[in-house]
Structure 1
């Protein structure tokens, strides 16, 4: 996986880190602004209060489709003006390899019938 597989959003927020932290970690507050699909499951898997928190995001599509899994990490840093530097990184849990790739890894052999 490379950094190009990640989506990164950075900005400054006009709120202290403690307030942003609460919005990211208290479920009732998180649900107010996190627009997740009804079939998505979001589980906190890591927290380093009040600096960063990571969630596993899992979406089940239509019956028979594979589960899409990714990780969303929020990083916070205090700013001199009382605000918060905010970084959101969204990365897939795994990048599916193309069937014709040449990378080393498990070998799958097929036999013609």
Structure 2
């Protein structure tokens, strides 16, 4: 797990093929059992590439961020799993001393 300026990243290897992990992420009944989100969080899928990439827009108390899940086949038949949770930001102008504002971009 790493915590950088671009967000929080968690990586692991799961003992299931990407297709099975994908089902656990995309069928709501399975996803809600596996990845419990707080009640006050709204999720909206903004990008999906079957069995390899899933991005959600995460809205929590007016804070907007993106959760991206990347899946790669592992050599042992499992799945390399990477989850990145990052704020949605527009870069500050090069001549600005102001921090970048947090905004939501259109998908």
The interval holding the TM-score normalised by the smaller chain is: 0.7 to 0.9
CA distance in 1, matches of 2:45, 2:38: 17
Contiguous gaps of at least 5 residues in structure 1:
61-66, 106-113
Q: TM-score of the superposition, structure 2-length normalised?
A: 0.77
Report how far residue 38 of structure 1 moved: 1.1
Matched, 1:22 2:17: no
Unaligned runs of 5+ in 2: 101-107
Q: Secondary structure at the match of 2:5?
A: helix
Please list, as runs of the form range in 1=range in 2, the aligned pairs for 1:91-110 lying within 5 A after superposition: 91-94=86-89, 102-103=97-98
Deviation, structure 1 residue 4: 2.1
Aligned-pair Cα RMSD in Å: 2.2
Following TM superposition, the consecutive aligned residue runs of length 4 or more in structure 1 with deviations greater than 4 angstroms are: none
C-alpha displacement of 1:5: 2.7
Tell me how many residue pairs correspond in the alignment.
Answer: 93
Max Rg structure: 1
Spell out, residue by residue over 1:50-100, the C-alpha distance to the aligned partner (whole angstroms, 9 max, x if none). Answer: 11000011012xxxxxx01110000001112110001001101137x8xxx
Q: Name the structure where strand makes up a greater proportion of residues.
A: 2
TM-score, normalised via structure 1 length: 0.74
Alignment correspondent of 1:108: none
